[in-house]
Amino acid sequence: MQSQNIPKATVVGNSLGGWIATEFAVQHPEMVDKLVLVDAAGLAGKIQGFPADISIDLNPSTIAAWRTLLESIFYDKSGVTDELATHLFTNRMRNNDGYTIERALAGFAARPQFEDDKLKSIHAPTLVLWGRNDELISVDSAERFRRGIPGAKVVVFEHCGHVPQVEKPEEFNRALLEFLGG
C-alpha cells in the first residue's frame, strides 16, 4: 500500500487471510477503511486440523489428502473430484510451496498469536461473513468476532462451508457490495 501510495483501503481476508487482515487492522488502524472477515482464523480454540487436531491436513502432500481437505472445505461435496484434487496437487508440486506452508503452520503452533484480546481495538466498520456448515472453523467464531469488534455485522450463509465466495457467490457478492456501498 505504501509503495502504491494507497493511504487507506478495505481489507478482505478468508481463513488464514482473515487472521492476517485482523492483525493488519490491529497494527495499522489508520490504513483500514473497512474490514471484511470471511470464515476467518485467528481466535483461540479448537480449529479442525490446527494445530492439535491433525485429522485434516492443512498442508496436503498427496492427491488423497487434497481430496480430504477439499471435502472439509465445501458443504456441497459434488464439486470435489479426483480431477480437482489432482490439479491442486500438481500446482503444489509446481509451486514448491509445501515447505513454506509447513513452516507457517509450525510457527503458529509453536507461538500462538491469537486475536481474541485485540479485537476491541478494531474500530473500522467490519463485516463478518461465514458459512454455517464450515467444518474447519465453527460458525460460533463469527459471533465471537461480532462480540469482540465494536459494531461488527455478521452474515451467515446457509448450506455453505469454508468458502462462501465460491459456494454462494451471488449472496456473498450482494452482502459485500451492500457493506462496501453503505
Q: Which residue matches cell numbers 461435496? A: 77
The strand order across the sheet containing 32-38 reads 9-14, 32-38, 126-131, 153-157
Q: Which residues of 126-136 are buried (b: 16+ CB within 10 A; e: fewer)?
A: bbbbbbebbbb
Q: Which residue matches cell numbers 451471488? A: 170
Please list, in sequence order, all residues whose beta carbon lies within 8 angstroms of the beta carbon of residue 90, skipping any fewer than 6 positions away.
Answer: none
Residue 94 C-alpha cell reads as: 509446481
Q: Give the residue numbers annotated as catalytic, written as ranges.
A: 162
